[in-house]
Structure 1
């Protein structure tokens, strides 16, 4: 059985709800606090692929302050968007649950059940 991981922000209610849902299912996931742990561009590209080849734009939180500061509204270059997420990790939508070659965004939390 593949290990389950969650890219988690303990200050985010959806992230906490998703983690609780996993635990209710008897799953003790590897918790990756992505605001603290190092991420690379390859890590984000891998997540995007596992999310179903989602674009970097779809993974960005547009309501974060850094989104406006960096003027990302009209940015379409994937590498620049990924770089922005690496420099300002709060821009990464959360939570993301990974199992094997698949991932799901926990919005709503129940969406992650598809890959378990």
Structure 2
């Protein structure tokens, strides 16, 4: 099953959702700001993406700039921050089996569906 971590207020996320809708494939939408994900799921997503946790952080978010930008944080601390402040998680993320991609640009989603 294809899953999209989606924020309806984000234009790129809406574009990614549109690509999935137009693909004709079955998928589920996880509105991660309304339905928080667990630390275990976030770690799995990071592993599937093949990136460091810091690469999944939205560094232009106000809370990141004001509270965390100048701090040296471990990977575990960054993951805990994203769980506590899901707005910090880059979006959209599409997961298809053992593959995942950040939909920036949204067309990258086409590579895994």
Q: Give the drift of 1:68.
A: 2.0
Report matched runs for 1:1-116 at 5 Å. Answer: 3-52=1-50, 54-116=51-113
Greater fraction of residues in helix = 2
CA distance in 2, matches of 1:103, 1:36: 21
Q: What is the number of residues matched between the two proteins?
A: 113
Contact 2:36 2:86 in 1 (8 A): no
Q: Compute the TM-score of the two structures, normalised by the length of structure 1.
A: 0.92
> Which runs of 5 or more residues in structure 2 are unaligned?
none
1:74/1:23 Cα in 2 relative to 1: closer, same or farther (>3 Å)? same
